[in-house]
Amino acid sequence: MARATLTSAMPDEILHLPKLRDVIAQAGLRPDKKLGQHFLLDANLLARIVRAAGDLAGQHVIEIGPGPGGLTRALLASDAAHVTAVEIDPRAITALAPLAAAYPERLTLHQGDALKLDVTTLVPPPRAIVANLPYNVGTPLLIRWLAQAGDFCGFTLMFQREVAERIVAAPATAAYGRLSVLAQWLCTVDIAFVLPAAAFWPPPKVESAIVRLTPRALQPPPGERAAMERLTAAAFGQRRKMLRGALKAIGGEALLNKADIEPGRRAETLTVQEFEALMHASMNQDGGLKRGRQFE
């Protein structure tokens, strides 16, 4: 992935804005546990996140949960064509207003719940998401965006380290599961770097990590995504069971034999490619996963 052309110092306009701690104090923006807020204020780390996103030149970047605007400022210092910040907390919208006023052509604030929003409607392509995600909604947001992976150039997202490790986990490891399969099936993934709890205010009880997901050039059609979603839910829903038992309701041993997969194996031992083969086999069988619910 190409490196972003982010300068080591913020532009003059940003340097003349209040310090982030002053913004937080003036807006009464004390982190809200209910919203999973932990603010990252270190300018060097914020710039490093933007560099991890690669070359943002010409892209419309969406940020979720900007809080006091630290990452927003770093994004504005990049070559991104435009930044759209989605924030549910009205206190943060107030805190970000001076930044939006300083960059009326490059920054748009959108107050709303990202879980209820189709972010592809906010900006035209090419799009990317760069965000320090609130801990309590990070996974459901990722699952939602994976269903639209082909609409994005990439995702650079901060999660709890445990969640990040699940996303990039290899088969036959404790962290490998449904999220690993879905993410790696639709994207190439890696952990860019880990951030200690002490980097945040207030410090969370866990470390965090930046995950990069780059959508694969060839994305599966909606029917295959629906089938894979249901298949992985069934396989990992009873992960201690052998697959012949875990998948009994959707074909069991006959389905596994059709995909040339040993029925006595467990879900965590299958590679992403084996899950894909099993998904295709399930779609070809009568009454199989063709009726599966949409990927969500």
All domains in the chain, ordered by first residue: 12-215 (3.40.50.150), 222-291 (1.10.8.100)
Structure confidence at residue 252 (pLDDT): 94
Structure confidence at residue 296 (pLDDT): 37
**Residue 40, H or E segment:** strand 39-40
Does residue 7 have a pLDDT over 50? no
Whole-angstrom distance, CA of residue 280 vs CA of residue 195: 39
Give the three-state DSSP class for 283. Answer: helix
In the predicted model, what is the mean pLDDT of the chain?
Answer: 90
Lowest mean pLDDT among 34-38, 98-102, 115-119: 34-38
Whole-angstrom distance, CA of residue 226 vs CA of residue 240: 24
Confidence of residue 118 (pLDDT cuts 50, 70, 90): very high
Q: What pLDDT, in 10s, does the model give residues 243-256?
A: 999 999 999 999 99
DSSP E strands: which ranges in 79-217? 82-87, 107-111, 127-132, 154-160, 187-195, 200-201, 208-215
Within the chain, where are the H helices?
Answer: 12-15, 20-27, 43-52, 70-76, 90-102, 138-146, 161-168, 178-186, 222-237, 243-246, 252-258, 272-284
**pTM listed for this prediction:** 0.90
Does residue 74 have a pLDDT over 60? yes
Lowest mean pLDDT among 53-57, 221-225, 280-284, 285-289: 285-289
Q: What is the rounded average pLDDT of the residues 258-265?
A: 96
Two structure tokens written together for 64: 């979720």
